[in-house]
């Protein structure tokens, strides 16, 4: 960096590339407080003379870093950290600095592509050929209506995203649920955050974390459970590192993981545990809390109840008799119906008193609402539940490193319990996919809260269990907007008639429009495509044929079944290549938008540039497709396959002033009040630096004069549709603990943490000192109110089951759950077919998810050009392998080839390998197991049994 600055200070001639590098260096040096030669500073300022800067949000993870974007000549020319943003305070991670370059890959998709034969007709087996937007939408409409009219609303669906902008997700939910009357929309956030959602619902009755990032500096203990923050949330880890270095003696960091990762470099203590035994470790800590008299009884008695649920709930796998289940797969899948209880499970389950070692456990409560059922128990029952989880028992089953002594592991567990139990120590527990992508993901989320609630260390500055989000708007869009198959905005649920009525009123559609039946979750959508029940799918901001476990099934079904797959994409990734129609899509700074991050912070940005070619925003594709449906086609009576009848609501629609020939666009997106109240142009669209109006492709079209879906040049909708959708959406949460500020406010600030009440954000929920809703609901003199309304009336019983039919209300109470340890259904310890390695997947610092964007950034590609198979060197030696040898990784579902790395950043213990999933050439999801948490339906990508041999 300094070399470039000195170079220009000495008057050395520089090309444009060097000028840009110097400008970046000057900006970084300024942020770091370094002195800068005057000549260098002048050159930097001269280079930037015609740049327009504006605030925006990073495209990648759920941290929600603020960035500054510079544009010139309809191109993003520079990106830097936003020093005014409280999340990242001016710094970015390596991916963040390349937010511009992800938009300019050589193979960027710029026009629709449809599979056409030589006659110009759609043919599923034909190659892709360029078509107009009109031809693309004509085929989309024809295929949709062919299946929709024959099979009904359950035959169509959308794979949505935790990377939608909030307005895109909201528009998609309106189209699918109020328009098509289907609930078959589910985001890739199902893969990453669904277990966290269930944990919040079950424990607190409301979604999203109670704390915020300020906890990092306010605590003195950070415990990471299955959270490689150093690579997955590097900016947050930099804050942890800073806090640790500023107070090295007091500030303690513990890293719990199934393999050594970069978090261990900072940690005071590393605990490597056997996959799935995190449940046992947490029960051990709970037992210690009780034994040491560390329970905060004042907090527990005032604010909590104890609860449990059924253990025999299966693993979210298919019926083993499904014809698509292969003989090899059946070994594992049969455990969905019944399994043999192991000796170690028999001890863990002994408090229930139903199973002994060798018994067959039939998964009696695996279907329907069975996994969700839970009931209140006494403290004595809870105490009985954790009693078997002694130090000796847990250390024996949970030790994950064969080379570590049992005594060493025991000392670590004791030290971990010491940290939690210390009344003078604040503690924050962080987790991400290690907990969420877990066959008992909802349980282990509940157990994290269990520890903090027992201690009264929750919802306070520096104290709390904190679920970190993977995607940039998994919280703000997928969860809060409700782009899940079971949700509506602001924690409303499609199965609740009162909630449907609220949504129908706000959307101004007839009562009875919304389908009351929960739709297909992500994995079920794939299974239904293979079973021939879902015929038409639209993929948005997602790459499902690379990111879904057991991929061979779904790849084959997409190409060989009778269906039509539409993929909206910016680059030709795996899912685009299996599609029948590809729609070219505008990327993040080529559209207006908003994201919501992991600390409930909502942040908005303006459109900075116009997309290349004739690529258009996702929002535009949704609203344009809505023009293709008249009310009489969708709001008629439907008889669904399960016998549910959706009523004809056309008469009520007419009474509301609609015509049966009105389109869904007219009713859902082109409302008179939108046009009246949200005109374009709008003063908030002016750049704060230059005063120039930012572009808005949806509102006014743009200089490209794109020929739209009707064959005419698209001139825009004539109103500020993004603002209109925002202002309508936020009505769902006002007064209900999900309050959001108005649209303009977000363009003046660096985000706000909801609920935003009277202009003030909320840092710590449920705490009367910070949360206006806690003050509203708390009893006089009490400090906390866990006011979430969901699941707040449950029966009473004991560890064996509920004993009452009556449900007892639990106002303002949180639940402390007991959940038992159980062996994973594909644990290599019990495998007799040679699948003797655990396979764990995950991300790496340099790449985002499936690599569709980041693999096209030269610097990131060079840094990590391929996915490696991280292996313990002793395992490699035993197999006769050397570093970088090509091996086959084979599971019961498929196999891939990869090179082994025995000295890399990830250092697995013996018996485990880790393979990242960003590389489509090494499509590791061909090997992963499509087992899920039975409650959340989130896939367990962290555990599968594989065999490894030289290629």
> Which positions are catalytic?
95, 192-193, 433, 470-471
What is the distance between the alpha carbons of residues 390 and 284, in angstroms, rounded to a whole number?
Answer: 6
What's the maximum distance between 2 C-alpha atoms anywhere in the chain? 84
DSSP string computed for 466-494 = EEPPSSTTIIIIIIIII-STTB-STT-BT
Contacts of 563 (CB under 8 A, 6+ apart): 147, 529, 534, 535, 536, 537, 557
Collapsing DSSP to helix, strand or coil, 233 comes out as coil
Q: Kindly report the number of other CB atoms within 10 A of residue 439's CB atom.
A: 30
DSSP string computed for 380-417 = HHHHHHHTT--HHHHHHHHB--TTS-HHHHHHHHHHHH
Q: What is the DSSP letter of 418?
A: H
What is the distance between the alpha carbons of residues 852 and 841, in angstroms, rounded to a whole number?
Answer: 17
Q: Is 805 exposed, middle or buried (0-12, 13-18, 19+ CB in 10 A)?
A: exposed
Quote the tokens at residue 944. 């599968």
DSSP string computed for 318-347 = PPTT-TTS-HHHHHHHGGGTEEEPPHHHHH
What is the distance between the alpha carbons of residues 387 and 353, in angstroms, rounded to a whole number?
Answer: 13
839 has which bridge partners?
A: 913, 944
Contact 55, 68 (CB under 8 A): yes
Q: How far from 458 is each of 305, 343, 768, 940, CA to CA, in Å?
A: 15, 35, 13, 27
What is the distance between the alpha carbons of residues 400 and 410, in angstroms, rounded to a whole number?
Answer: 12
What is the distance between the alpha carbons of residues 107 and 254, in angstroms, rounded to a whole number?
Answer: 43
Contacts of 49 (CB under 8 A, 6+ apart): none
Collapsing DSSP to helix, strand or coil, 834 comes out as coil
What is the distance between the alpha carbons of residues 461 and 428, in angstroms, rounded to a whole number?
Answer: 10
CA triple 140-142-143, angle to 5 deg:
65
What is the distance between the alpha carbons of residues 415 and 421, in angstroms, rounded to a whole number?
Answer: 10
66 has which bridge partners?
A: 57
What is the distance between the alpha carbons of residues 642 and 644, in angstroms, rounded to a whole number?
Answer: 6
């Amino acid at each position: 960096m300094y070399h470039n600055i000195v170079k220009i200070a000495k008057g050395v001639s520089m090309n444009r590339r060097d000028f840009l590098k110097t400008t970046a260096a000057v900006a970084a040096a300024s942020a770091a407080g370094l002195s800068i030669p005057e000549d260098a500073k002048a050159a930097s300022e001269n280079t930037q003379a015609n740049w327009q800067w504006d605030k925006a949000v990073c495209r990648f993870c759920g941290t929600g870093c603020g960035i500054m974007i510079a544009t010139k000549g309809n191109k993003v020319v520079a990106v830097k950290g936003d020093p005014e943003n409280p999340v990242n305070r001016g710094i970015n991670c390596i991916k963040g600095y390349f937010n511009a370059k992800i938009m300019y890959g050589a193979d960027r998709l710029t026009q629709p592509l449809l599979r056409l034969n030589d006659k110009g007709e759609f043919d599923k087996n034909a190659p892709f050929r360029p078509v107009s937007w009109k031809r693309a939408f004509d085929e989309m409409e024809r295929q949709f209506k062919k299946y929709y009219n024959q099979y009904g609303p359950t035959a169509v669906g959308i794979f949505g995203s935790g990377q939608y902008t909030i307005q895109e997700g909201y528009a998609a939910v309106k189209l699918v649920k109020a328009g098509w009357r289907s609930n078959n929309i589910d985001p890739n956030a199902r893969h990453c955050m669904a277990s966290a959602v269930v944990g919040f619902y079950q424990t607190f009755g409301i979604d999203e974390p109670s704390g915020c990032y300020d906890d990092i500096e306010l605590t003195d203990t950070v415990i990471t459970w299955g959270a490689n923050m150093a690579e997955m949330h590097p900016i947050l880890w930099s804050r942890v590192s800073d806090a640790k270095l500023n107070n090295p003696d007091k500030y303690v960091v513990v890293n719990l993981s199934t393999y050594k990762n970069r978090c261990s470099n900072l940690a005071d203590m590393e605990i490597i545990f056997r996959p799935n035994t995190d449940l046992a470790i947490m029960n051990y800590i709970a037992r210690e809390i009780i034994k040491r008299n560390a329970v905060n009884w004042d907090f527990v008695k005032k604010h909590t109840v104890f609860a449990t649920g059924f253990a025999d709930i299966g693993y979210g796998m298919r019926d083993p008799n499904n014809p698509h289940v292969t003989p090899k797969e059946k070994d594992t899948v049969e455990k969905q119906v019944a399994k043999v209880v192991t000796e170690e499970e028999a001890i863990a389950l002994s408090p229930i008193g139903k199973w002994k070692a060798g018994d067959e456990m039939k998964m009696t409560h695996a279907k329907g609402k069975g996994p969700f059922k839970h009931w209140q128990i006494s403290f004595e029952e809870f105490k009985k539940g954790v009693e078997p989880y002694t130090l000796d028992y847990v250390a024996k089953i949970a030790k994950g490193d064969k080379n570590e002594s049992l005594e060493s592991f025991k000392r670590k567990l004791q030290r971990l319990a010491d940290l939690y139990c210390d009344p003078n120590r604040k503690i924050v527990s962080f987790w991400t996919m290690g907990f969420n992508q877990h066959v008992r993901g909802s349980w282990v989320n509940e157990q994290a809260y269990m520890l903090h609630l027992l201690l009264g260390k929750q919802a306070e500055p520096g104290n709390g269990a904190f679920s970190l989000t993977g995607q940039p708007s998994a919280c703000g869009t997928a969860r809060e907007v409700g782009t899940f198959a079971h949700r509506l905005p602001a924690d409303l649920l499609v199965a609740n008639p009162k909630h449907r009525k609220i949504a129908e009123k706000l959307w101004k559609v007839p009562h009875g429009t919304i389908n009351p039946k929960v739709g297909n979750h992500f994995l079920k959508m794939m299974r239904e495509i293979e079973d021939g029940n879902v015929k038409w799918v639209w993929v948005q901001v997602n790459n499902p044929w690379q990111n879904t476990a057991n991929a061979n099934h779904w790849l084959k079904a997409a190409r060989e079944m009778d269906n039509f797959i539409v993929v909206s994409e910016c680059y030709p990734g795996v899912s685009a290549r299996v599609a029948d129609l590809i729609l070219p899509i505008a990327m993040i700074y080529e559209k207006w938008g908003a994201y919501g991050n992991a600390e409930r912070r909502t942040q908005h940005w303006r459109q900075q540039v116009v997309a290349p070619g004739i690529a258009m925003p996702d929002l535009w594709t949704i609203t344009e497709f809505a023009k293709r449906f008249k009310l009489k086609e969708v709001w008629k009576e439907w008889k669904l396959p399960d016998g549910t009848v959706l009523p004809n609501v056309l008469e009520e629609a007419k009474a509301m002033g609609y015509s049966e020939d009105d389109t869904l666009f007219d009713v859902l997106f082109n409302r008179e009040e939108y046009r009246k109240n949200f005109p374009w142009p709008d003063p908030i669209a002016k750049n704060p630096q230059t005063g120039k109006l930012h572009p808005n492709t949806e509102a006014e079209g743009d200089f490209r004069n794109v020929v739209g879906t009707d064959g005419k040049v698209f001139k825009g909708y004539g109103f500020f549709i993004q603002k209109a959708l925002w202002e309508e959406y936020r009505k769902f949460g006002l007064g209900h603990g999900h309050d959001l500020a108005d649209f303009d406010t977000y363009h003046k600030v660096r985000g706000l943490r909801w609920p935003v009440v009277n202009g003030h954000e909320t840092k710590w929920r449920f705490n009367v000192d910070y949360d206006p809703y806690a003050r509203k609901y708390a009893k006089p003199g009490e400090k906390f109110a866990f006011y979430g309304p969901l699941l707040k009336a449950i029966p009473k019983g004991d560890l064996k089951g509920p004993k009452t039919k009556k449900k007892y209300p639990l106002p303002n109470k949180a639940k402390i759950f007991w959940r038992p340890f159980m062996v994973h259904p594909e644990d290599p310890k019990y495998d007799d077919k040679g699948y003797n390695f655990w396979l764990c997947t995950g991300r790496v610092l340099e790449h985002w998810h499936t690599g569709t964007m980041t693999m096209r950034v030269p610097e990131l590609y060079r840094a990590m050009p391929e996915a490696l198979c991280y292996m313990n060197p002793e395992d490699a030696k035993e197999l006769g392998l050397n570093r970088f040898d090509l091996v086959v990784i084979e599971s019961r579902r498929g196999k891939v080839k990869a090179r082994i790395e025995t000295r890399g950043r990830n250092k697995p213990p013996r018996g485990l390998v880790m393979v990242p999933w960003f590389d489509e050439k090494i499509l590791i999801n061909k090997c992963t197991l499509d087992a899920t948490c039975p409650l959340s339906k989130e896939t367990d990508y962290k555990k599968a049994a594989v065999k490894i041999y030289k290629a």
